[in-house]
Structure 1
Amino acid sequence: MASSPFNLKALLDDQAGHPPLNLIEKHINPAYAKVLKVLGYDIRYTKGQGPYLWDEQGNKYLDCLSGFGVFGVGRNHPDVRDAIKQAMDMDLPNLPKFGPSMTSGLLAEKLIEIAPDGLDTVYFCNSGAEGCETAIKYARAATGKNRIIYCQKAYHGLTMGALSINGGLEFRDGFGALLNETTPIPFNDIEALEQEILLGDVAGFIFEPIQGKGVRIASEAFVTAAAELCRKHNVVFIADEVQTGYGRTGRMFACEHFNIHPDILVTAKAISGGYVPLAAVLSRRSIHNKVFSTLDRCVVHSTTFGQNDLSMVAGLATLHVLEQEKVVENADRMGQKIIAGLTALVPKYDLLKEVRGKGLMIAVEFGTPKSLSLKVGWQLLHKVDGGLFPQAILIPLLKDHHILAQVAGHNMDIIKLLPSLTITEQDADHLIKAFDEVIAACHRFPGPAWEVGKRLTKQVFKRSNNEQPLAPTK
């Protein structure tokens, strides 16, 4: 009996008659499905191209989440897709393991060419969290010390080691004891860092040049002094550029804004064009040699899919697109335009506190209004849920202006914008105009935006204590 061919379209078409979250709710994450329903984010997207998504009615959305930053060159970029097809058609000898991988060597060479000076070895893995786990192990092996210093409100991933250096305490609850030799310091506090380093047991200091949670930018003075301290006291200086890397901030790497040269650079997300999980940890050879110190330790740190051909080829193609299409330069130009346009709204609106960012990593922060009537609504929403107010902005942005975005972190009045780096002048104008209109509506109390808040407040009261917050983010 002849077997029938696999038909992906038929499988997807078969789900068209069911609610969009049907299988997610049944088999993957019921709590997350419920959050999406409450917020009205249960949209069945059917197509993604460049910086846009389309739903089943044919509506086009400007995606300012971009998969939490993985679609730097846009969704389904034809050059990256073609490169992956080429690799598949060539029947490459994928993952020989005990044998050379040509594609990984090519990608490593290219990464070293564009990396900050001094980084000349590359370790490939699958995610930013796995990259941060690697950095912890490298720092310990290189120094013979154990303690890792990290910044409050940092986000370095959710695996056990990465969670131990995660400043978001909400992610830690319920998982028991973590690594016990990690210490947080306030972001941008050089005195606190020096105090810890002088104790003599610090293996590494890991930081984000721009924190993903809240889009908080490191000060140049802090970063420069931190680098000097680490060099002086044999502490590995680790830059987590999982979200800031590959053009996000208008430079290939955010370290370039500060003219610093880390000992380890952790990258992921946008490196593979959003097609294949991939992370790259770049390090100094002196550190690398302490990890892989003898022949019998040549695979002492490894991961099964770390050098697979599809991710390597996707990485090569993505770097090609970044260079050929001047994507990084576009991110810088469009970021300046959006930040300037949104900043111009600050004196216009009582609720709008600040706009900040670099490139296309942008925060729109709201604050307590001076107007008595607005303050009543503000305090009511915050009494119910610390992260509720931004949804009064985000839901109209999605429903009325077809802009997909989310909050910058737990209990924050900050919306983070991470669009594809390929957005156009028209996209930037649309984004600024939409924020102007939605924020204006929020200044009418009671008004349509506050009705959204009232509806969400009812939903919050229905939630049990162990359910997720209304705005899960990365």
Structure 2
Amino acid sequence: MMQPNLDISEMFADRQFQRNALHTRYLNEQLVRVLKTIGYDVGFQRAQGQYLFDRDGDRYLDLLSGFGVFALGRNHPTVKNALKSVLDSDLPNLVQLDLSTLAGILAERLIAHVPYLDKVFFANSGTECVEAAIKFARGATGRTGIVYCDHGYHGLSYGSLSLTGDKNFRDGFGPLLPDCFSIPFNDLPALEKALASRQVAAFIVEPIQGKGVNIPDDGFLADAAALCKRYGTLFVADEIQTGMGRTGRFLAVEHWNVEPDMVLLSKSLSGGHVPVGAVLTRKAIFDKIFDRMDRAVVHGSTFSKNDLAMAAGIATLEALKQEKVIENAAARGAELLATLSAMVPRYELLKNVRGKGLMIGVEFGPPKSLALKASWTMLEAASKGLFCQLITIPLFKDHKILSQVSGHASHTIKLLPSLTITQEDCNWITSSFDTVIESSHRVPGAIWSLGKTLVDNAARKSA
């Protein structure tokens, strides 16, 4: 029987100009409106590594990386070839009543990077890993409490949303999980007070908070782990964004010599093609969950351990190693931190640059000079954090750099480029930021005219 020849690339080319109409009709109309408003609807056609190309063939440097997914850049040949080999091999995928060879290999290689842990549970996404961690912690300890940090982000399904502090995500979806309590980031006394009840199953924390790129105090994570051990609470590192080399180490906790009871990975483990997540845990925890043969499948997910996802993870780890990608992240990140930090004394609107490796936050704040202060106050009254859009929009339009703020109402722009960026890319970033920030200090000027336009648009929509 002749098989139909479905050419997806031809379908993409034929219907690319209908993408706005398709999304407006069948998907998220509000996202279409947002992209049009800020001028980001340029119609990207293809991608290679850290670069995107629009419908006119113009090249952009991507500092979003799909929210940290593309550590290797887009369409990495090692990952593509691994996926092709799976598809060409007719493997017995997802038999369920069988054992996945590729899952065993990927688990072995992950544990080699985190040798103080013993077992791996695979999921389909970061938020599924957080859900699994909540269940594992409660099941292993017999406790119900979960402690997390203010401004943390752990996902948007119900369990993970219960540990996400931003009201913009939480409002309208309650009630969320009970017995979930927040503490301020970097506040050890607050953590000890919460743990002292001996009812807390786990403390789940991002080593570096994604929303704001908040860096822990030098002793916070190690002391938090010690407190958890003292009170019988599991220490869970959410490395979904920070892991896999993002901060210049395989795990961000390595910067502070911390060994968590569980580590959560996802995003860049996928190689950018097939969603995958992994919970790395101690054997004692794992064995409390899967403790009898009749509980062998007490927690799982239909598509976890699928061959394409496992192959993507194996290929990603191999590319990280062979191409010294993590070492590049450390070197390029140090350069960017130094050059961007050197701008702080020159610009009163630029307050701080912080980060580890290629997870960098560029923070802006209120100026002192009267002309700038009046314009800043106008923007803040209209929408907190709007000033950062006055930086990201010209970065995109005039300098072909894709970036975004680090969270709702944030004054920080987060840089999450592919870990493969070059010295030339770093020069592109710093010169572009320098030009745009300098322009923002001219009042009146094009940037503040853009700000007034955004404020007027917001006022018309709310009227």
Question: What TM-score, normalized by structure 2, do the two folds share?
Answer: 0.98
Distance 2:117 2:94 in 1: 25
1:112 partnered with 2:100: no
How big is each residue's C-alpha offset from its partner over 1:441-473, in whole Å with a ceiling of 9 and x where there is no partner? 0000110111111111122123359xxxxxxxx
Aligned to 1:10: 10
Aligned to 2:280: 282
Aligned to 1:347: 345
Aligned to 1:59: 58
Distance 2:17 2:222 in 1: 57
How big is each residue's C-alpha offset from its partner over 1:354-401, in whole Å with a ceiling of 9 and x where there is no partner? 000000000000011011000010000000000211010000000000
More moved, 21-30 vs 295-304: 21-30
Aligned to 2:84: 85
| TM superposition shift of 1:207 | 0.4
Aligned to 2:45: 46
Distance 1:321 1:415 in 2: 28
Counterpart of 1:346, as a letter, is V
Aligned to 1:401: 399
| TM superposition shift of 1:134 | 0.5
Aligned to 2:27: 28
Distance 1:265 1:336 in 2: 25
SS of structure 2 residue aligned to 1:211 = coil
Distance 1:457 1:339 in 2: 32
Distance 1:121 1:270 in 2: 20
Counterpart of 1:11, as a letter, is M
Distance 1:84 1:2 in 2: 25
Counterpart of 1:34, as a letter, is R
Distance 1:299 1:28 in 2: 35
How big is each residue's C-alpha offset from its partner over 1:238-280, in whole Å with a ceiling of 9 and x where there is no partner? 0000000101000011010010100000010000211100000
| TM superposition shift of 1:5 | 2.0
Counterpart of 1:25, as a letter, is T
Aligned to 1:443: 441
Counterpart of 1:61, as a letter, is Y
Counterpart of 1:55, as a letter, is D
| TM superposition shift of 1:2 | 7.0
Distance 1:276 1:371 in 2: 50
Aligned to 2:213: 215
Aligned to 2:71: 72
| TM superposition shift of 1:171 | 0.4
Distance 1:3 1:188 in 2: 59
| TM superposition shift of 1:176 | 2.0
Distance 1:463 1:275 in 2: 37
Pick the aligned partner of 1:433 from 426, 431, 434: 431
Pick the aligned partner of 1:364 from 342, 359, 362: 362
Distance 1:294 1:430 in 2: 57
Aligned to 2:153: 155
Unaligned runs of 5+ in 2: none
Distance 2:452 2:388 in 1: 13
SS of structure 1 residue aligned to 2:151 = coil
Counterpart of 2:30, as a letter, is A
SS of structure 1 residue aligned to 2:333 = helix
How big is each residue's C-alpha offset from its partner over 1:158-189, in whole Å with a ceiling of 9 and x where there is no partner? 00000001111210011120001100000000
1:263 partnered with 2:264: no
Distance 1:2 1:143 in 2: 57
Kindly tell me: are residues 105 and 3 of structure 1, through their superposed partners in 2, closer, same or farther at Cα, counting changes over 3 Å? closer
Distance 1:458 1:55 in 2: 29
Counterpart of 2:454, as a letter, is L
| TM superposition shift of 1:9 | 2.6
Counterpart of 2:321, as a letter, is E
Distance 2:127 2:461 in 1: 30
Counterpart of 2:423, as a letter, is E
What percent of counterpart residues are identical?
51
Counterpart of 1:15, as a letter, is R
| TM superposition shift of 1:16 | 3.8
Distance 1:136 1:14 in 2: 45
1:315-330 residue pairs with structure 2 within 5 A? 315-330=313-328
| TM superposition shift of 1:108 | 0.2
Counterpart of 1:100, as a letter, is L
Counterpart of 2:156, as a letter, is L
Distance 2:47 2:16 in 1: 17
SS of structure 1 residue aligned to 2:352 = strand
Kindly tell me: are residues 172 and 17 of structure 1, through their superposed partners in 2, closer, same or farther at Cα, counting changes over 3 Å? closer
Residues 198 and 232 in structure 2, CA contact (< 8 A), matched pair in contact too: no
Counterpart of 1:301, as a letter, is H
SS of structure 2 residue aligned to 1:206 = strand
Aligned to 1:468: none
Distance 1:141 1:67 in 2: 33
SS of structure 2 residue aligned to 1:281 = strand
Aligned to 1:224: 222
Count of matched residue pairs:
463
1:90-169 residue pairs with structure 2 within 5 A? 90-115=89-114, 117-169=115-167
Counterpart of 1:67, as a letter, is G
Distance 2:76 2:214 in 1: 30
Kindly tell me: are residues 449 and 143 of structure 1, through their superposed partners in 2, closer, same or farther at Cα, counting changes over 3 Å? same
Counterpart of 1:393, as a letter, is I
SS of structure 2 residue aligned to 1:53 = strand
Counterpart of 2:94, as a letter, is L
Counterpart of 2:7, as a letter, is N
Distance 2:24 2:461 in 1: 16
SS of structure 1 residue aligned to 2:219 = helix
Distance 1:238 1:17 in 2: 45
Question: What TM-score, normalized by structure 1, do the two folds share?
Answer: 0.96
SS of structure 2 residue aligned to 1:463 = helix
Unaligned runs of 5+ in 1: 466-474
